[in-house]
Chains A and B, each alone.
Chain A
Amino acid sequence: MVKLETLEMTLNGKQISLQVAPHKRLIDVLREDLGLKGTKEGCGEGECGACTVLLNGEPVNSCLVMALQANDCQVETIEGVGTEDQPHPLQRAFIEKGAVQCGYCTPGMILSAKAFLEKKSNPTRDEIKVAMSGNICRCTGYKKIIDAVVSVAKKGGTANG
């Protein structure tokens, strides 16, 4: 059986192929090899969720995923969510509700919320809290973050946001 060294994945909608050092984690490849710094390494041990990316639509801690595990997968990072000119409804809501202070947890929060709202319509506040329970914030006290997600959920979710 052949050793794997080429990572082929769909990254933010685009099919890419790159050689990766096999010992690297997904977060290392995203930040170092691909220059995508939006994904943050808050703890490096899967305890804070700042490094959250979507792997086949599901939130995972990219600090605990080996880069090559993402082979043949769809990966979505914060860079793939909205643009400066056309922010995603969640990004708009986070700004409007004051849910961003230092901003370090924000990419992970947005991705966890996005994945959740795309799967679940009309969630309760408690269901949102559970969905976000893997993302820690040291600044906001969480209330405004949950308010932001609730406001988007109420408007009918994020379909094609």
Chain B
Amino acid sequence: MALDYFQPKSIEEAVQVLATEGEAGKILAGGTDLVLHMQEGKVKPKYLVDLSKIEALRYIEEKDGFIRIGSMTTFTDLAEALILRKRVSALAEAASLVGSPQIRNQGTVGGNIANASPAADAVPPLVALDAKLKIYHQQGERDVSISEVFGGVGKNLLHPGEIIGEIYFPIPDIHSVSSFYKLARRKSLAISRISGAVFLQFKPNSYEVIKAQIGLGAIAPNPIKAGKTEELLAGRILDDGVITEAVRKASEEAAISLGDRPSAVYKKDAVGGVIRGALAHCRLAWQSKMGRER
């Protein structure tokens, strides 16, 4: 199996190699999906561009009201980042639940997005937050909303020669909490059956929801925003009745995306549980936060 292996030290070198070598290659980020696909013969690249030595792609920073994350940032990096645990806890939580410690040490957020699994765990929080991607190419760069990069199960819409460089989103308002709920067959080494990321911004000192942002994974070919459930929650007081309404709305929304897959009957119900769990957790987190600030 002839394979050419490139290990660029910079983004410029990386896009240059891709432009020069043509379309028969693959980008190697963490490798937790790609190396397996290669072993199974599912992909047979002529060359690999290993991004692991490009330190400039591995960072998490808060700048001008945005969180910016380099595409080679690992799940472990995300799970341990204080700024994320404090202000974007659903993303840190999601990252901490991916696979296993070994997988988390290797797997990257950029790879998670590019691999485009329906169950990619870092994606629902990013979709919920309307995250954007900065994509690099030899000719320059472009910015797209994260949803625009997905083209179905395991398919991304990146053009040949493109590398995801950065993921960024506005940092949630200080009067916000978030929650990530992973429904899976095991506590570890498990692929999500359904995942939900909920971000709620509250009116200070109340349970009135100013804004709800919800991302759902593994109920559609790629993770999606639960727009109708978000609308339902906006302006409402988050009591048990409203939570039950939101649970029903989420089930309705999910039913449309679930289509005919065999798990649709189960998932249509189960998504309600995921949303219920995430909303209840958010309410508790907000209660705690208000308690601390008094």
Chain A positions within 8 Å of B, measured between CB atoms, are 1, 3-5, 22-23, 25, 44-47, 49, 52, 55, 58-61, 63-66, 68-69, 71-72, 112, 130-131, 133-136
Contacts and interface: CB of A to CB of B under 8 A. Distances in A.
Nearest to B105: A58
Given A58-B105, A65-B35, 6 more contacts: A3-B6, A59-B102, A66-B48, A69-B52, A71-B7, A133-B187
A19 B90 CA distance: 44
B32 interface: yes
Contacts of A64: 31-32, 35-36, 103, 106
B35 A66 contact: yes
Interface of B: 1-8, 13, 16-17, 20, 28, 31-32, 35-36, 38-39, 47-48, 50, 52-53, 76, 99-103, 105-106, 187-189
Contacts of A52: 102
A22 B46 CA distance: 11
Given A45-B36, A64-B31, A72-B53, A5 B5 contact: yes
Contact of B4 (A22, A60, A65, A135): A22
Contacts of B47: 3
B103 A3 contact: no
B183 to A, nearest CB: 17
A130 B100 CA distance: 9
A117 to B, nearest CB: 13
A66 B36 CA distance: 10
Residue of B31, B35, B101 with most chain A CB atoms under a 10 A cut-off: B101
Nearest to B6: A1
Nearest to A53: B102
A22 B189 contact: no
Q: Chain A contact residues: over half helix, strand or loop, or mixed?
A: loop
A46 B39 contact: no
A11 to B, nearest CB: 18
A65 B28 contact: no
A23 B4 CA distance: 8
Nearest to A54: B105
28 contacts: A1-B8, A1-B20, A3-B6, A4-B7, A5-B5, A22-B5, A22-B48, A45-B39, A46-B32, A46-B36, A46-B100, A46-B103, A55-B106, A58-B105, A59-B102, A59-B105, A65-B35, A66-B5, A66-B31, A69-B52, A71-B7, A72-B53, A112-B101, A133-B101, A133-B188, A134-B101, A134-B102, A134-B189
B39 A4 contact: no
Given A47-B189, A49-B100, A133-B187, A65 B5 contact: no
B50 A69 contact: yes
A64 B52 CA distance: 14
Contact of A60 (B5, B6, B102): B102
A146 to B, nearest CB: 14
A134 B188 contact: yes
Contacts of A69: 28, 31, 50, 52
A21 to B, nearest CB: 8
Contacts of A1: 6, 8, 13, 16-17, 20
Nearest to A70: B52
Contacts of B38: 23
Given A61-B106, A134-B100, A134-B102, A66 B17 contact: no
Contacts of A3: 4-6, 47
Given A1-B13, A46-B32, A66-B50, A59 B101 contact: yes
Given A46-B32, A66-B31, A69-B28, A58 B76 contact: yes
Nearest to B28: A66
Contacts of A5: 5
Nearest to B103: A46
Contacts of A136: 189
Contacts of B103: 46, 61, 64, 134
A60 B53 CA distance: 17
A61 B50 contact: no
A102 B53 CA distance: 38
